[in-house]
């Protein structure tokens, strides 16, 4: 279990992570997003496509707040490895199991950093000719965006610093934290 000390800081060697978004704030915002998406998809049956591994908690909490009929599937891209900086390469690890042709799909991401992953996913999925494709990301780092991507639903905008918790990892750890923490400068 990650060590969260009295000041609610996470210390990993010489690196210190401090609270950025509390569990309560996350739940509040996720509920708002779920309600908004439900309104926008009234009468439709969207397929939520979670991008593994990071989006698993967000997708689960989001879906608890969606009240239209929907389906879910998962998709996996290569990760950062154990580094904090993207390699700039994206490869496919797990394909979709569903047929998205003619369907309304909603891609669910944990965080959009450079935008490379989302751009790759959008290009790939558009070949399957969905009826519509939208993106919901819990977090976006606006200062870090390098690719021209449209994020339809955003939970929070965060500074261009490394964050962990609520699905987001550092070398595969800390995904189980309820809040989001940021690397102190
Ligand atoms: P992008 O392709 O540069 O937009 O990066 C997106 C992916 O990188 C996300 O889905 C995350 O898995 C990972 N990522 C980006 N920034 C962070 C971070 O601050 N903490 C943990 N993972 C991150
Ligand atoms: Mg991810």
Tell whether the torsion through CA atoms of 20, 31, 68 and 166 is positive or negative: positive
In tens digits, the chain (185 residues) has pLDDT values of: 555 665 589 998 899 999 999 999 999 999 999 999 999 999 999 999 999 999 999 999 999 999 999 999 999 987 655 666 666 677 787 888 888 999 999 999 999 999 999 999 999 999 999 999 999 999 999 999 999 999 999 999 999 999 999 999 998 999 999 999 999 98
Asked, for residue 108, whether it belongs to a domain, the answer is yes
Is 1 among the domain residues?
no
Residue 4, domain member (yes or no): no
**Domain count of the fold of the chain:** 1
Residue 9 domain flag:
no
Q: Is 116 in the pocket of ligand 1 (CB under 6 A)?
A: yes
Q: What is the CATH number of the domain that holds 39?
A: 3.40.50.2020
Does some domain include residue 85?
yes
- Which atom of ligand 1 is closest in space to residue 117's alpha carbon? 2
3-state DSSP assignment of residue 137: strand
For residue 109, which atom of ligand 1 is closest to its CA?
10
Ligand 1 lined by 144 (C-beta under 6 Å): no
Task: Supply angle C-alpha 19, 170, 82, rounded to 5.
Answer: 160
The answer to the question of residue 7 being in a domain is no
Say yes or no: CB of residue 121 within 6 Å of ligand 1: no
* Whether residue 113 lies in the annotated active site: yes
Q: Which residue minimizes the CA distance to atom 9 of ligand 1?
A: 111
Domain residue limits at 29: 23-176
Cis peptide before 53 (omega within 30 of 0): yes
> Could you tell me the strand order of the sheet in which 153-157 lies?
92-94, 71-77, 47-52, 104-112, 132-140, 153-157
Nearest to 162 by CA among 13, 18, 26: 18
Say if 14 falls within a structural domain: no
In a domain, 13, yes or no: no
CA 41 – CA 70 distance, rounded (Å): 10
Please give the structure tokens belonging to residue 20: 């950025």
In ligand 1, the atom with minimum distance to the C-alpha of 54 is 12
Which one is catalytic: 110, 113, 152, 169?
Answer: 113
Say if pTM beats, i.e. exceeds, 0.85: yes
């Amino acid at each position: 279990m990650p060590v969260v000390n009295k000041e609610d800081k996470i210390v990993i060697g010489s690196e210190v992570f401090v609270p950025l978004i509390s569990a309560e704030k996350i739940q509040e915002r996720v509920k708002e997003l779920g309600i908004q998406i439900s309104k926008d998809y009234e009468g439709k049956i969207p397929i939520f496509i979670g991008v593994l591994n990071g989006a698993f908690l967000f997708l689960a909490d989001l879906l608890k707040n969606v009240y239209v009929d929907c389906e879910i599937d998962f998709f996996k891209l290569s990760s950062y490895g154990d580094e904090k900086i993207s390699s700039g390469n994206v490869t496919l690890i797990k394909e979709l199991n569903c047929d998205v042709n003619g369907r309304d799909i909603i891609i669910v991401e944990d965080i959009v950093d450079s935008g490379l992953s989302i751009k790759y996913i959008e290009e790939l999925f558009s070949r399957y000719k969905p009826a519509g494709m939208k993106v919901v990301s819990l977090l976006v780092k606006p200062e870090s965006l390098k690719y021209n991507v449209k994020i339809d639903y955003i939970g929070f905008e965060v500074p261009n610093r490394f964050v962990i918790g609520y699905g987001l990892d550092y070398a595969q750890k800390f995904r189980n934290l309820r809040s989001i923490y940021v690397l102190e400068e």
